[in-house]
Amino acid sequence: MADDHISSWFRPSRRRVLTLMGASAAGLVAPGLLGRGSALAAPPSEPTGQVIVGFSQEPTVFNPHMPHIEVDEGIHFSVFDPLFIVDEKGEFQPALATEVPSAENGGISKDGLHWKIKLRDGVKWHDGEPFTAEDVKFTIELLVDPDFKSWRRDGHELVENIKVVSPTELTFDLKSPYAPYPSILAATFIVPKHAFADIDPNNAPFNNAPIGTGPFKWAERMAGDHITLDANKDYFGDGPYLERLIYKYIPDLTVLYTQFKTGDIDVVGLQWITPDKYEEAKDLPGKAVEVVPGATVESLSFNMGRPQFQDPKVRQALYYALDKQTIIDALYYGLPTPTETFMPQQSAYYNADLPKHEYDPEKAKSLLDEAGWTPGSDGIREKDGVKLAFTNSTTAGNHIREQAQQFIQQSFKDIGVDMSISNLPPAVMWGDYWMMSKFDSVVVGINFLTGSDPDVSNYLAPTSIPAKGGAGQNTWQYENDEVGKLLKEGGSTFAAEERKSVYVKLQEVVRNDLPFLPMFQYATVRGHKEGVEGVVPNINVRIDSWDVATWYWDK
């Protein structure tokens, strides 16, 4: 979903803000996957039945503004509402707000600094208290409260002069125009002010028994096992059509699948069905199983600060030696789509004309020969005393990726490159080892985008290198001034077409430089029982249950 990540050097001009805010969010559109021809029965008039969703991770953080992982958002989407959401077509849709603020409807002033938000009337919190503009104000203020362990502050920090005009209307100003703010608000769930009265928000009872406005009410949590939510019959929007929603924690993907197969769970949630089970799963009777593209891109990433990777020819040669298609076909059962870029193919900014990768070990060898990397006595290439040997790391325990890694190791060995595998436990891997660029190379899946905005400054700007004091996550230590310039330009270009050409160019430069070898864009195998209707994948969010309000049983 939309997130904040624009580093501080980047402040878009007012005109850009207006353009972006005027248009609907240029979000990512998932292809029509739901083309099951049969006419669907209408949802029931009363909430009926229950759906059990299986997750392979345990949701534990129920205050949506505290540090959490993606699985927690499954609960957030069920219990809370933001002011507006990004739907599966990448468009903003009003939720707690009556309309999405824009320059056209007067919600945002011409200079982008003054905002007016109109709220739904008559919405009630799950405990019966009325929802008002005070709650919205409180939420934004909570996010920047220095004593609160706030998840994200970017964007909200710019908000000042929040005024509650009436219970259904509030206005605020931004210190400076900030284009991604609508996207940030679309991911900001509103929490009730009265639940935090006179208590330390970090330890509020609310955090473990959340009270929202959403389609489902908090009922019960059995830690380590499941969470039960009940229908909120007073929900303001469509739905809910289910009486009860249960999120079941099943820590093992094989068991998760088995339970789906046997019918113990109705919907396979986060981490989904492993690719090796797809062939079997798609023919299961009574189950709807589909392959859904994700926005995450798998890459073999280099630490450009290492002497082995300074030479662009080396990176190109390694790309030629990478047998991408075999990895996809054999290890991932052909499900993911090969890609050449960090931009998801569903994005409006995707560059489809990048040079296609070829697997050609001979060419790889000749490239290295040309560049002066010649095999030493041990068969490993070297140049000027630098051996073409490096370690490759990833999270220990990710079996398919570890298999891919070992396969790549063999491919590289064939061209005289020694890649040794050094996998680490997740807590170690993604700590300073990754953030401070202490690795040689890694295999990693990253969602470069944050929701609908094509800006990737956080990952690619030369000023975003944490190892050099930057605030972002450019852990490749990729420094290309042209990229920096393009990213700035992308932020200050207004017309959608022009903006697109900047990002198209950016993708070309990055494809040429290869700070990481793009492998494929994720595809996940999702499944639910036939009869559960309304389960719509949305590439703009991280979790399945974003539209759980409108799920229903057709039977």
Q: Which of residues 383-412 bind other proteins (CB under 8 A)?
A: 396-397, 399, 402-403, 406-407, 409-410
Can residue 79 be called a binding residue for other proteins (CB under 8 A)?
no
Q: Establish if 441 lies at the interface with other proteins (CB under 8 A).
A: no
Dihedral over Cα of 280, 283, 288, 293: its sign: positive
Of 414, 422, 446, 439, the C-alpha closest to 317 is: 414
Please report how close the Cβ of residue 58 comes to other proteins at its closest, in angstroms. Answer: 7
CA geometry: angle 451, 436, 144, nearest 5 deg? 50
Phi, psi of 381 (to 5 degrees): -70, 150
Span 255-294, contacts to other proteins by CB under 8 A:
255, 258-259, 264-265, 274, 276
Among 471, 494, 550, 554, binds other proteins (CB under 8 A): 471
Which residues, 6+ apart, have CB-to-CB distance to 262 below 8 Å? none
Please state the closest distance from residue 278 (CB atom) to other proteins, in A: 13
430 binds other proteins (CB under 8 A): yes
The dihedral built from the CA positions of residue 447, 295, 541 and 108, taken in this order, carries a sign that is positive
Is 157 a binding residue for other proteins by CB under 8 A? The answer is no
Residues 302-341 that bind other proteins (CB under 8 A): 326, 330-331
> Residues 111 to 150: which contact other proteins by CB under 8 A?
149
Window 346-385: contact mask with other proteins (x via CB under 8 A): ----------------------------------------
The dihedral sign for the CA sequence 197, 202, 204, 208: positive
Residue 226 backbone dihedrals phi, psi, to 5 degrees: -155, 165
Task: Return the closest-CA partner of residue 393 out of 432, 364, 447.
Answer: 432
Q: Per-residue x/- marks for other proteins, 196-235, CB under 8 A?
A: ------xx---xx-------------xxxxx---------
The answer to whether residue 429 forms part of the interface with other proteins (CB under 8 A) is yes
Contact 27, 531 (CB under 8 A): no
Phi, psi (rounded to 5 degrees) for 49: 75, 180
Residue 483 bridge partners (DSSP): none
Rule CB under 8 A: say whether 458 interacts with other proteins. yes
Residues 52-71 that bind other proteins (CB under 8 A): 52, 58, 60-63, 66-67, 69-70
Q: Which of residues 522-541 bind other proteins (CB under 8 A)?
A: none
Judged by CB, which is closer to other proteins: 448, or 546? 448
Question: Which of helix, strand or coil describes residue 52?
Answer: strand
Binder of other proteins out of 380, 389, 424, 509 (CB under 8 A): 424
Is position 449 an interface residue for other proteins (rule: CB under 8 A)? yes
Among 116, 153, 363, 488, binds other proteins (CB under 8 A): 153
Look-up: residue for tokens 């959403």? 214
What distance in Å separates the CA atoms of residue 208 and residue 202, rounded to the nearest whole number?
11
